[in-house]
Chains A and B, each alone.
Chain A
Amino acid sequence: MLPEFSDGELVERAARGDEGAFGALYDRRQGGIYRFALQMSGSREIAEEVTQEAFITLARGLSRYEAARGTVSAYLYGIARKLVLRWIERDRGFENGDAVEAIVGESGPLEGLLQSETVEAVRRAVLALPASYREAVVLCDLQEMSYEEAAEAMGCPVGTVRSRLNRGRALLAERLRAAKWCFA
């Protein structure tokens, strides 16, 4: 029954103390938040921490959410973005991708070795992007958010999202070309 409600309605019900509504919202959004944190940080540990903290922050500040200012999804991604950037700032090692864990292939279906290596190379190239370009690529290309939603989550104008995305893609292409994975 609860899955029929929109995110906003679930937040309203949760704010009135409905634990089931909050649980339904968590079930609906935890995957995206977790993947976003994982794609941004390259670390499962950080992704788990960020996911947990993001929802705890939401639970403690349900009354602070204003539907007029954006979607629940963008609100949650905004919280997660701040948390993951704090983690990245704390551990600069993830910036250059050297400390990135090998993720692809561990949880998903086993694919061909070449494809796995290609995906892993793309993932490393994304992680090697500067954080401001990386978040635009992750939100728009990997999380498939609209420019407007990404702008809400990033707290910047839509035009900024577009420009960062273009620049991020260009940098990504350069890195992949250098690694001979994109156009071989």
Chain B
Amino acid sequence: MVFCMNNDRREEMIAQRLAELRGSMGDFEAPASIRPVVLEAFRASRRRGPAVFYRWGAIAACAALLAAGLYWAWGRTARAPVARVPVVNAPAVVRNFVPPAPEHVVARATRPLRRRVSPSRSPVPQELATSFFALPYAAPLSPEDGGQVVRVTLPRSAMSSVGLPVNEDRWYDRVPADVVLGQDGIARAVRFVKVAQ
């Protein structure tokens, strides 16, 4: 009777039926058309190996070149505040350059501007400067004498003394200027600076 069979008998019958099913499909195989497709995929994967290697190598090389270019450009940008000051005919006595400083600062030793400054973090006002004008009645300095550049402010009228045009309405306005001082403290040259914020 169907409903009186115990579990063991049921398990045995199930196993028998499954074995019949297994036997009926025992010789089933994938169609022969699949084999060449699979082997072609295998060959393609072997060919692709070196291609992938070279492709990633090329990408890595491009990335390295790009990084080097950005590093170089960033370095140039960081040095730009100094380089943008169009100094023409600067006297040889100028060994150090003093960045914009308060008016009352005089003759302060400065350190070379070697440290890179990120333009985005500390914006530096751009400056336009005239060339240095030698002051009359002062002995010229040789490179061996050395000297310092100090930032001062002068009345605009001082610009006329070196032949620069001055707006009459702003005759008494003050303008930043860099003065070259010799070791003896005597001014030898001057240039006028326009600070653009």
User: Which A residues are within 8 Å of any B CB, using their own CB?
Assistant: 14, 17, 19, 22-23, 26-27, 30-31, 33-35, 38-39, 47-48, 51-52, 55-56, 59-60, 62, 103-105, 107-108, 111, 115-116, 118-119, 122-123, 126, 137, 141-142, 144, 169, 172-173, 176-177, 180-184
Contacts and interface: CB of A to CB of B under 8 A. Distances in A.
A135 B110 CA distance: 81
Contact of A173 (B10, B28, B41, B45): B10
Given A23-B35, A123-B21, A60 B5 contact: no
B21 A26 contact: no
Interface of A is mostly: helix
A51 B30 contact: yes
A17 B49 CA distance: 10
In this complex, the interface size class of chain B, counting residues with CB under 8 Å from chain A, is 20 to 34
Contacts of B37: 52, 56
Nearest to B28: A35
A33 B42 CA distance: 18
A174 to B, nearest CB: 10
Interface of B: 2, 5, 10-11, 13-15, 17-18, 20-22, 24-31, 34-35, 37-39, 41-43, 45-46
B25 A38 contact: yes
A119 B21 contact: yes
B11 A55 contact: no
B41 A60 contact: yes
Instruction: In the A-B complex, list the 8 residue pairs whose CB atoms are closest, starting with the nearest.
Output: A34-B30, A59-B42, A56-B41, A55-B38, A51-B30, A183-B2, A31-B29, A141-B18
